[in-house]
Chains A and B, each alone.
Chain A
């Protein structure tokens, strides 16, 4: 009998100790029950535009991004700038005021008005993939479509059909945040204009052509980054034109972050702000002073 009680005593002790062992380290128990999930990579870029190129970043759901984008005139004297225009500050190549609204975190609509061509444009941006931190999804992928309408007065009967006033851009944006400091994206792009005309050399422009864009951001510190973007047009008309010197748009600048704002200050030879303008018409040459100072200022409101 005593032996039996002793065994029960031992048994109790054993159960007691195993129980308290299991409950002893609550933290490992918690960590086991709540494994850290694979997270989405955030802040690949700081703003929905770098310089000329869109990024994979979007306005968050129920937020409105109000944005003023400005391009001054050419800096160099050989390209119409020089001291008598205060290196382009007296001129404005293009000005755009825009509003972009996040319907969900993955769907954004936008509306803007540019000085160039008086273009009114409506855009749609949709997130398809988001890069994850364990690399099960190695890149982020966003679709961007912009439709522009020019309400310009019709002086020379070119807009005989209202459809002639319209142009389109479709773009896939593929981005990867390689490290805390460095992000890069590729932007295969198709531009289409309903109206193209015969030029002085009796050549006709292409309605549709393909461009490949590349854009990057290098973060120097928590507030300051260097940004750049470039589009290469695959357009025979542009490459081989005998008298018009078409150029590919290149932008280089920096990005400043403060609490509520993101500023971009940069130089670019691009001749417009929306893709429908700068991909198709850029003719200024960096080497001839054909770069313009520009800035993007955005303020995001939560509605």
Chain B
């Protein structure tokens, strides 16, 4: 009987352990930057949502495109209407796995690599992206920097403004997570 009680205890521990592996975004900053001769283009988005499951090492993010804030309103309008067509393609997303060999049991800072499907402007590409994951008790944070090629995602820049827009855009991701209840 004691054995049974013990296994039940183990079982419940194991289950609670599971639900504790799922983290959700509670604060996000996704920004991009493109250096250009005339004017630099940059925008910030704080409305990204995401989940990480440290047990299955799966991750998923959604970024609502219209929530990118630009300093210049006309630039924002061009971004939404002409480049991202955000009325048609409302979100950007990433759906993939952490491929780094690590169990993330202990608190600490880990160099991680994720691999999966990055969808922008309705185009999905397989990408492997590096980042840094920090675990601190019930909180996680993830920072990453990567480049996106406009051509890969079928984002057309007319020749007239090609000087104004770089062909690669640098994206910065800074996310904080809390345990999902």
- Chain A residues within 8 Å of B, Cβ to Cβ: 4-5, 8, 11-12, 15-16, 19-20, 23-24, 26-27, 29-31, 33-34, 36, 39, 41-43, 46, 60, 63, 133, 180, 222-223, 257-260, 262, 300, 302
Contacts and interface: CB of A to CB of B under 8 A. Distances in A.
Nearest to B93: A27
A150 to B, nearest CB: 33
A190 to B, nearest CB: 31
A26 B59 contact: yes
Contacts of B18: 16, 19-20, 23
A257 B58 CA distance: 43
Contact of A42 (B38, B59, B87, B95): B87
B97 to A, nearest CB: 10
6 smallest beta-carbon distances between A and B, as pairs: A26-B60, A60-B73, A27-B60, A26-B51, A27-B95, A43-B81
Interface in B4-59: 4, 7-8, 11, 14-15, 18-19, 21-22, 38-39, 49-53, 55-56, 58-59
Given A26-B53, A258-B160, A300-B74, A8 B62 contact: no
A15 B15 contact: yes
A133 B22 contact: no
A30 B50 contact: yes
B82 interface: yes
B38 A259 contact: yes
Contacts of B53: 23, 26
Nearest to A34: B49
Nearest to B71: A302
Contacts of B11: 8, 11-12, 15
B interface secondary structure, majority: mixed
Contacts, number: 99
Contacts of A5: 3-4, 7
29 contacts: A4-B4, A5-B4, A8-B8, A8-B11, A11-B11, A15-B11, A15-B15, A23-B21, A23-B55, A24-B56, A27-B93, A29-B60, A30-B62, A31-B62, A33-B49, A34-B49, A36-B90, A41-B87, A42-B66, A42-B81, A43-B77, A222-B158, A223-B160, A258-B160, A259-B75, A259-B161, A260-B39, A260-B75, A300-B73
A24 B91 CA distance: 21
A262 B81 CA distance: 14
A30 B60 contact: yes
B15 A259 contact: no
Contact of B161 (A39, A46, A180, A258): A258
A39 B84 CA distance: 15
Nearest to A28: B60
A43 B15 contact: no
Contacts of A43: 77, 80-81
Contacts of A46: 77
Contact of B15 (A19, A31, A300): A19
Nearest to B85: A180
B93 to A, nearest CB: 7
